[in-house]
Structure 1
Amino acid sequence: MQRLPGLLILALAVLPLSAAGAAEGTEIEWYGKFKLDAAYDTAQPSHTNFAMWVKEHADGDAQDVTNITARESRLGFRLKREEVRGLLEFDFYGGGAENKNLLQLRKAYVDLPLGGLRLRAGQDSDLISPLVAATLNYTVVWGNGNIGYRRPQIRLYQQAGAIWWGVALARNISPDLDGNGIADGDDGLPSLQARLALSTDIGGRSLQLGASGHYGRAEIATGGGDSYSSWSANGEAKLQLAAGATLLGEVYIGSNVGTYFGSIVNTNSIEGLASLGGWINLQLPAGDTHSLSLGAGLDTVDEDDLIGVAGARSSDLIIFGNLQRVLAPGVKGGVEIAWLTTDYPNAGVGRESKPTDLRLQFSVIGSF
């Protein structure tokens, strides 16, 4: 762990030299943000520094909690040389003590022309369900109807007028399904992702519509090579409204999408874990210094696929709203209120089957 900061410092020191040497003509653009999040929850959230669902607890025994973190602070740079692009980005959710955070690789890819197409190779966001809700909560409605994360991939895509299309081969990532302490997910083929989107206008307002999906297969590491499938079909829409407002949202249906932050992040199942969900977000500018975001998300899992599974979650709802204000050039402050409720169909006697959490979050964000 002590080697990581040294390696990062070395990389930062070498970059200007490489730009002046072998990569003559390379432009480097640094970017990032410093972010403090302070949150109060009336019940224990899924994680200490962010909330995806409400933890199960005894009847009438919800425990409130306060967390303060700077882990979502981010550092990255973009590279440009003729038609070639590159990006490297980190945050601090890579583990470690709360005052000694470790780096987490978010994105690392090169993007280059390939005939009339473009090729992107490295780690990037999933091709599926690309829209993002405007939340102060780190997880942008993951586990509440928004699916898609980041993973290593090879992507081929094209913007042809109003049409955008792309396909990607991505790494299969899976937890330990059979309880033998070995992470499963190996397969002879990577998962396949695809997306098609159309940009148009309606009544003079820009409208983006898209459809995407993925299919992957993973094998149990031992025990005869049993396999399971993961798939999703997704829809998206983004509409520009009057006065600079934006309305956007997504829906999905799928099976075994826990590693894509669907299925309320229940563990995947060989027999299949069917789920569906979606989210909606209204983003409103309020003058030159304020912005407002209102939204909701819901993820549901077929309870028949959860029979006998202790701690399984069958429904997860979030309703949120936040207000952000410019405090100084490049610095914003924000307050967010969110209400979360989670269904536990197999809750034991004396356990709350539908715990709720009222979350109040305050953030300060300095961007560069």
Structure 2
Amino acid sequence: MNARGTFRHALLAGILFSAAPGLAAEPSVSTTAIEARINHLERELAELKALVKSSAATSEKPVTSTPLTVSSASGAKVQLYGFARLDGAYDSGKINPGNTAMWVRPENLNNNDGEWNMTAGATRIGINLSGPDTKDIKLSGNIEMDFFGGGTENNQNPRLRHGWLKAYWPASDFSILAGQTWDVNSSLIPFVDDPALMWSGGNIGSRHPQFRLTKGFSAGEKGHVELTAAAARTIGEANTLADTWNTDPGKDAAIPAIQGRIAWSGPVLVADQPATVALSGHYAEEEWDTDKTGTHQTLDSWSCSVELSMPVSRKLTLAGEYFTGTNLDDYFGGIGQGVNTATVREIRSCGGWGAVRYTPSPSVTINMGGGIDDPRDSDLAAGGRKVNGTIFANIINKITPDLILGIQLSEWRTGYLNSGTAEALRAQSSLTYKF
């Protein structure tokens, strides 16, 4: 018996069963009449199915997917998100490290030798956690990774980007965060399409394990002030001055880095798009052992940054940062140079970035800007990178809300102590599928 026949007989049996009292009272109702009723119902069902399909095909509002959300045994909501992404770039000279851009290699190692890079390492997967909340506390968390953790180009290793939990008390606008996430200091992100985010080219700040406290205050009718302090992990260069154990001088210092930020946010030029002005910084120490008997030098690491994000109109935003500090390689400052190991002294550096974002339509964003990182020449070892700058322009096009094309052009110039300046142009593109 086919499926249609099975359905018809089951429906017939159900109708007979439900109609049994009536049939007993009305023996004149025939099986033929019941069959006719079934045929009528089936025709109506087919018409309804056709109508639904037609409505879905002609609807002006497309059906959009919602994030996959499930509940855990504890009652917490778990939301999966991420994207698959491919980056490709042509460089007119050798740009370090290649898949991303940070500085140009010395001219004697470059020789205007072009390169082509392609990677899927920026592909990202994450989980947002929320709840269960109490009357006073809201719980949240995040676990996120990409694939820039090493390995080979077609067998890349996962890398933890974020892994944190947060408890928030809404009544007092106070929160505690514990785990790994973005640093408190220099928290703005440039408007670039390169996953390296202009590190070593004017932007500092990274991600570190930390314990963070944040307190918010109202400032006027629509303004908000936020104070943040954190104790974070310090990660230093491998120290081989005393032995071959590659001791981490950040860990050897036996104290955490202290990060802090004060920020004001509120409407200035655009009523529903707040501007933000912030002052931030950090202080840390590194203990550099110079022999096997425990003789050491304690070197400082510190930064001070000014941050600005200013919507000029609903479609135009200006943003930028300025920084100054010492021993900033752990925060991608000093063009990746923190300590001159020949003299065991800190390398001082300053710089910053500025950018403008224009959004002509909800699906298109145009960005341009530049940055510079300028270590102090007298602090550098022979052949050190003494200045690094870049300018960029890009366009980000949402082909659909979930399919995004990025195209970026940038120029990089890196000066070397007593070795001239190396230059390279970079043309790159990205294709991203969000989920």
TM-score under structure 2 length normalisation: 0.76
Unaligned residue ranges in structure 1 (runs of 5+): 1-14, 348-352
Q: 2:280 aligned with 1:207, yes or no?
A: no
SS of alignment partner, residue 86 of structure 1: strand
Aligned twin of 2:95: 45
Deviation at 1:268, TM superposition (A): 2.1
Aligned twin of 2:299: 228
Separation in structure 2 between the aligned mates of residue 274 and residue 227 of structure 1, nearest angstrom: 16
1:300 maps to a residue whose letter is: D
SS of alignment partner, residue 259 of structure 1: helix
Aligned twin of 2:17: none
Aligned twin of 2:432: 365
Aligned twin of 1:190: 256
User: Is the 8 Å Cα contact of residues 129 and 147 (structure 1) preserved in structure 2?
Assistant: yes
2:406 is matched with which residue: 334, 338, 341? 334
Separation in structure 1 between the aligned mates of residue 84 and residue 189 of structure 2, nearest angstrom: 20
Could you list the per-position Cα deviations for residues 92-127 of structure 1 after superposition, in whole angstroms to 9, with x for gaps in the alignment? 000011001110000101000368321000111110
User: Is the 8 Å Cα contact of residues 234 and 330 (structure 2) preserved in structure 1?
Assistant: no
Deviation at 1:366, TM superposition (A): 1.1
Deviation at 1:79, TM superposition (A): 0.4
Residues 308-347 of structure 1: pairs in structure 2 closer than 5 A: 309-347=381-419
Residues 46-195 of structure 1: pairs in structure 2 closer than 5 A: 46-58=96-108, 61-81=111-131, 82=133, 83-113=138-168, 116=172, 117-161=174-218, 162-179=224-241, 180-181=243-244, 182=246, 183-185=248-250, 186-195=252-261
- CA 1:280–1:144 in structure 2 vs 1: closer, same or farther (change >3 Å)? same
Q: 2:313 aligned with 1:264, yes or no?
A: no
SS of alignment partner, residue 242 of structure 1: coil
User: Is the 8 Å Cα contact of residues 270 and 311 (structure 2) preserved in structure 1?
Assistant: no
User: Is the 8 Å Cα contact of residues 266 and 275 (structure 2) preserved in structure 1?
Assistant: yes
User: Is the 8 Å Cα contact of residues 177 and 267 (structure 1) preserved in structure 2?
Assistant: no
Could you list the per-position Cα deviations for residues 174-218 of structure 1 after superposition, in whole angstroms to 9, with x for gaps in the alignment? 012454441322212111000000013334453210000100001
Looking at CA atoms only, which structure, 1 or 2, has the larger radius of gyration? 2
SS of alignment partner, residue 210 of structure 2: strand
Separation in structure 2 between the aligned mates of residue 134 and residue 153 of structure 1, nearest angstrom: 26
Deviation at 1:340, TM superposition (A): 0.4
Unaligned residue ranges in structure 2 (runs of 5+): 1-68, 219-223
Separation in structure 1 between the aligned mates of residue 270 and residue 394 of structure 2, nearest angstrom: 28
TM-score under structure 1 length normalisation: 0.89
2:301 maps to a residue whose letter is: S
Aligned length: 343
- CA 1:74–1:311 in structure 2 vs 1: closer, same or farther (change >3 Å)? farther
Residues 235-314 of structure 1: pairs in structure 2 closer than 5 A: 235-269=306-340, 270-306=344-380, 309-314=381-386
User: Is the 8 Å Cα contact of residues 294 and 321 (structure 1) preserved in structure 2?
Assistant: yes
SS of alignment partner, residue 120 of structure 1: strand
Deviation at 1:221, TM superposition (A): 4.4
Could you list the per-position Cα deviations for residues 265-304 of structure 1 after superposition, in whole angstroms to 9, with x for gaps in the alignment? 1142442211101001111112232110101000101101
1:364 maps to a residue whose letter is: L
Deviation at 1:35, TM superposition (A): 1.0
1:293 maps to a residue whose letter is: N
SS of alignment partner, residue 202 of structure 1: coil
Separation in structure 2 between the aligned mates of residue 289 and residue 346 of structure 1, nearest angstrom: 47
Separation in structure 2 between the aligned mates of residue 213 and residue 171 of structure 1, nearest angstrom: 15
User: Is the 8 Å Cα contact of residues 178 and 220 (structure 1) preserved in structure 2?
Assistant: no
- CA 1:362–1:192 in structure 2 vs 1: closer, same or farther (change >3 Å)? same
1:256 maps to a residue whose letter is: N
Aligned twin of 1:11: none
Separation in structure 1 between the aligned mates of residue 366 and residue 192 of structure 2, nearest angstrom: 10
SS of alignment partner, residue 62 of structure 1: coil
SS of alignment partner, residue 243 of structure 1: coil
Deviation at 1:330, TM superposition (A): 0.4
- CA 1:122–1:77 in structure 2 vs 1: closer, same or farther (change >3 Å)? same
User: Is the 8 Å Cα contact of residues 93 and 110 (structure 2) preserved in structure 1?
Assistant: no
Aligned twin of 1:36: 86
User: Is the 8 Å Cα contact of residues 315 and 360 (structure 2) preserved in structure 1?
Assistant: no
Separation in structure 2 between the aligned mates of residue 245 and residue 112 of structure 1, nearest angstrom: 35
The RMSD of aligned alpha carbons is 1.8
Separation in structure 2 between the aligned mates of residue 60 and residue 221 of structure 1, nearest angstrom: 35
- CA 1:247–1:100 in structure 2 vs 1: closer, same or farther (change >3 Å)? same
Deviation at 1:59, TM superposition (A): 8.6
User: Is the 8 Å Cα contact of residues 269 and 313 (structure 2) preserved in structure 1?
Assistant: no
**Matched-pair identity in %:** 29
| Structure with the larger helix share | 2
